[in-house]
Amino acid sequence: MAAIYRVGPDGPVYRRGVPWRRRLRLPASIAHPVRLLPLAFLSLIVLGTLMLLMPFAREGERDPSFMDAFFTATSAVTVTGLATVDTGSYWSPIGHAIILVLVEIGGIGIIAMTTVLGLFVGGRLGLRTRLAAQTDMHVVSLGDVGPLFKRVAFTMLVFQGVTAVVLTLRYSTHYFDSFAYSLWHGVFDAVMAFNNAGFSLHADSLTGYAGDYAVILPISVAVFAGGVGFPVLAELYQEWRSPRTWTIHTRLTVWGSLFLLVVASTLFVAVEWNNPATIGGLSPIDKLVTGVEGGIMPRSGGFNSFDWGQVEPVTLFTAVIMMFIGGGSASTAGGIKVTTFLLLGYVILAELRGEEQVRIGSRAINSRTIRTALSIALIAVGLVTAGAMLLMMFSAVTFADGLFESASAFGTVGLSTGLTPDLNLPGRLVLIVLMFIGRVGTITAASAFVLRRRQSRYHLPEEQPIIG
Amino acid sequence: MAAIYRVGPDGPVYRRGVPWRRRLRLPASIAHPVRLLPLAFLSLIVLGTLMLLMPFAREGERDPSFMDAFFTATSAVTVTGLATVDTGSYWSPIGHAIILVLVEIGGIGIIAMTTVLGLFVGGRLGLRTRLAAQTDMHVVSLGDVGPLFKRVAFTMLVFQGVTAVVLTLRYSTHYFDSFAYSLWHGVFDAVMAFNNAGFSLHADSLTGYAGDYAVILPISVAVFAGGVGFPVLAELYQEWRSPRTWTIHTRLTVWGSLFLLVVASTLFVAVEWNNPATIGGLSPIDKLVTGVEGGIMPRSGGFNSFDWGQVEPVTLFTAVIMMFIGGGSASTAGGIKVTTFLLLGYVILAELRGEEQVRIGSRAINSRTIRTALSIALIAVGLVTAGAMLLMMFSAVTFADGLFESASAFGTVGLSTGLTPDLNLPGRLVLIVLMFIGRVGTITAASAFVLRRRQSRYHLPEEQPIIG
Ligand SMILES: [K+]
Ligand SMILES: [K+]
């Protein structure tokens, strides 16, 4: 396949100047990768719903519930982890396997698709030369997409494999008698962790392992790694020794993620230290372990070893903010993404300094990129707000619970103060829509915004309204 | 004094090219109007605190409380209306008069200063030719500042006078036997209404007049008029018949304010219709009257004829958003301002359409103005969030109450779910800082941002991080 040499108004254009959609000979309306993404996810959700409706997917002699199957399939494919039923006892082992596969396909699909879109979209991503070393230095070809998918899948399986081994060893030596049972739990938790999916075979998630560093920390590390995103992992793999050569994207993601982790965990431990309903009864070391978890999971792992319905208001608010920010781009985490969040911080900095260009290190960020970041953040605020208000209106939840649940669904986090199973039909539909838009919509919007940029043929005269 | 012909990097520059601060021969550090503003407000607050500490300002034989005097003075000068004590019973009639004067000076000061700053700052404000008709068509001179102050004061007194007459008639015929008492209440409420200050001589604000259209509506209209801002009032006065000639600023403010009013009032009436703790027990007409009030007051009048501590979560959330948005620029209302809010909406629209320029009608908004609007909105989000978290941490308030109180203080609204009098010292300090920054800081920041814009001598190479 031919190499792309620039991104035109109709999407990436080949070296020979032919828009790629014409080359692939697919109908234009579905051929664009940005348009394919929602369709692919929707198909997977429908397929998942159908499979979860099968009798063998449920435990015992229950009647099938379309809504529970639909909700669970959406939650799994979008790697969220919110659940209207108890995952462990409602679904059969086959049902668990279906959820596992949906999560794995959803996770790999997201990472691969967003990485490819990043290659198409990001003119100065820096990755293209590194990931696609076999091609020219300044082009990426569609022929690289296959190997790229393989590389993404390989990376994910390695991470998940290591996590699974560590967890299985701990489970079999300290928790369960059966090695097979330990192995199944280890594999399930590892897949959920790296995919930031947060489903658990236990009704109370990780509460049975509260404070056990040999369970909480491997899961937290896998969540963190899955959440920084493939482009960053790939760059770190090759250049972890020379941070000075990292792209802006990797620098923002790595330092930003660590910064958010430290802030959220410190706040968590400080505020919850004496809360008997969360970590008040644990030993100091166990409090710290739980603090790391409490700082990482809202961005958007979704596991919990304590009851989020019992945390202090400050902790809940911090978590809402972290869920909104989310993880790295082209990762299994949701939210507006760390880069988007930090970019907005740099905009404020430039404004405070009165500088014409927004600078990050020795690089400038152009005003269209800023506008895109701003738009994504504002649309996200609007969606979380609208979701929370609809939940309050139709499902009679409190202010705090509504905002937390809405942010959790939009950020595909999966944490809950405990109200998900009690939500009525409108409430469940709100969450389904939020999960889908939160997962697919933000990616699609971000890519579409960048791809659709075009030069105006004429410029309008400017006028300046008063601000502030 | 010479006419300003452009805004340079060091502030407005005279026709003869001399920066104005050098002409006035004040020390550069305090001469800049942007720097004078916080100092002027701080002085007024200190003066007000001292006066409210005098024995004759309090009712009965109470001990002086520095914190209550300081809080009340700050609340009055920033035209907020939050109160740690019951205004009616704690302060003597002289104390009420002091509060009235502080509010009036604070209100006139804000409107006059921001209008002047708007003239200095807004290169394309459009107002200069209309307000300062005696000068050349394209310049505004410092000699216009005196007449401008007079015009602002005159406009405010006319509005307040009419409101006072209407209220006094109603109070004397329907509520109080004494005409003098009715007059004092009418004048007090009129001053508070147009200044968006929200102090009331009754412990329960307007609750005694709930549903009485002859009291609620005049106060609401005065609050609305005070909240659209002087530049808009001035333009409407001259050109209300030809909306097509309005400046972008006036169009955004007028249509935006009406839009927010309709949305907020409709939501309020729909959600609260059957809530017995608010408007459930009123007649349908009284519900609508209260709905108008419930839509207007959070943006930032601060009066209430029902208990905001009893509203539904959705209503509370809507109010928080309205408090955050606030009123028009160069008005007595607070918040990020209607123009800032709408501008961000137009940015999303431009992004969705893939347009290079952000358009409003036939005018473009330049990217620096957008960056300024974005920065102000983000800083405001940060402040309200930080304030809410500090209240939750130090004063043990709930999530909803903390966010409501923080937004109310930052937006200089003055509504409360009822917790202000119970706050401890750190909580009160948080509100004092929020009121001051919300009032003075946003104006200062907005003007400083615009004035400090400068061209870079060199441009950095661009790099594009992945977003979303
Ligand atoms: K998740
Ligand atoms: K107010």
Of A340, A360, A402, the CB nearest to B468: A340
Q: Given an 8 Å threshold on Cβ–Cβ distance, is B466 in contact with A118? A: yes
- Say whether residue A249 is in contact with chain B using an 8 A CB cutoff: yes
Q: What does the pLDDT look like over B227-284, one tens digit per residue?
A: 998 888 888 888 878 888 888 888 889 999 999 999 999 999 999 999 998 998 888 9
| Residues contacting B460, CB < 8 A, separation 6+ | A357, A359, A362, A363, A364
Q: What does the pLDDT look like over B156-170, one tens digit per residue?
A: 889 999 999 999 999
SS3 at position B361: coil
- Say whether residue A464 is in contact with chain B using an 8 A CB cutoff: yes
Residue A38 has pLDDT above 70, yes or no: yes
Q: What does the pLDDT look like over A86-115, one tens digit per residue?
A: 998 899 999 999 999 999 999 888 887 777
Q: Given an 8 Å threshold on Cβ–Cβ distance, is A126 in contact with B271? A: no
ipTM of the complex: 0.83
Q: Given an 8 Å threshold on Cβ–Cβ distance, is B121 in contact with A466? A: yes
Of B348, B352, B465, the CB nearest to A339: B465
Of B318, B373, B462, the CB nearest to A363: B462
pLDDT of residue A236: 86
- Say whether residue B457 is in contact with chain A using an 8 A CB cutoff: no
Percent of chain A with pLDDT over 90: 40
Of B393, B445, B464, the CB nearest to A314: B393
Mean pLDDT score of chain A: 81
Each as own residue / partner, the long-range contacts of residues B367-371 (CB below 8 Å, 24 or more positions apart, any chain) are B367/A367, B367/A370, B367/A371, B368/A356, B368/B453, B369/A464, B369/A465, B369/A467, B369/B343, B370/A367, B370/A371, B370/A374, B370/B343, B371/A347, B371/A350, B371/A351, B371/A358, B371/A367, B371/A370
Ligand 2 centroid from CA B282, angstroms? 26
Shortest CA distance from B451: residue in chain A? A354
Mean pLDDT score of chain B: 81
pLDDT of residue A461: 65
- Say whether residue B330 is in contact with chain A using an 8 A CB cutoff: yes
Q: How far is CA B82 from the centre of its chain?
A: 13
Residue B207 has pLDDT above 60, yes or no: yes
Q: Given an 8 Å threshold on Cβ–Cβ distance, is B118 in contact with A378? A: no
Q: Given an 8 Å threshold on Cβ–Cβ distance, is B468 in contact with A443? A: yes
Integer Cα distance of B329 and A468 in angstroms = 6
Q: What does the pLDDT look like over B173-198, one tens digit per residue?
A: 888 888 888 999 999 999 999 999 98
Torsion of CA A423, A426, A430, A432, to 10 degrees: 80
Torsion of CA B23, B145, B325, B323, to 10 degrees: 110
Pick the residue with more confidence: B94 or A457?
B94
| Residues contacting B404, CB < 8 A, separation 6+ | B308, B316, B319, B320, B323, B415, B416, B417
What residues of chain A lie within 8 A of the CB of B373, using their CB?
467-468
Shortest CA distance from A359: residue in chain B? B460
Give residue B32's pLDDT band: very low, low, confident or very high (50, 70, 90).
Answer: low
- Say whether residue B366 is in contact with chain A using an 8 A CB cutoff: yes
Residue that is written with structure tokens 């208001």 in the block? A313
What residues of chain B lie within 8 A of the CB of A321, using their CB?
385
Ligand 1 centroid from CA A412, angstroms? 5
Residue A10 has pLDDT above 50, yes or no: no
pLDDT of residue B95: 93
- Exposure b/e, A103-141, CB count within 10 A at least 16 = b: bbbbbbbbbbbbbbbbbbbbebbbbbeebbeebeeebbb
Selected residues 256-275 of chain B with any CB under 8 Å from a CB in chain A = 271
Show the tokens assigned to A317.
């608010």
Integer Cα distance of A59 and A85 in angstroms = 12
Percent of chain B with pLDDT over 70: 81
| Average pLDDT of the segment spanning B345-351 | 87
Integer Cα distance of B387 and B399 in angstroms = 12
DSSP for B275-312 reads -TTTTTTS-HHHHHHHHHHHHHGGGTT---SS-GGGS-
- Say whether residue A115 is in contact with chain B using an 8 A CB cutoff: no
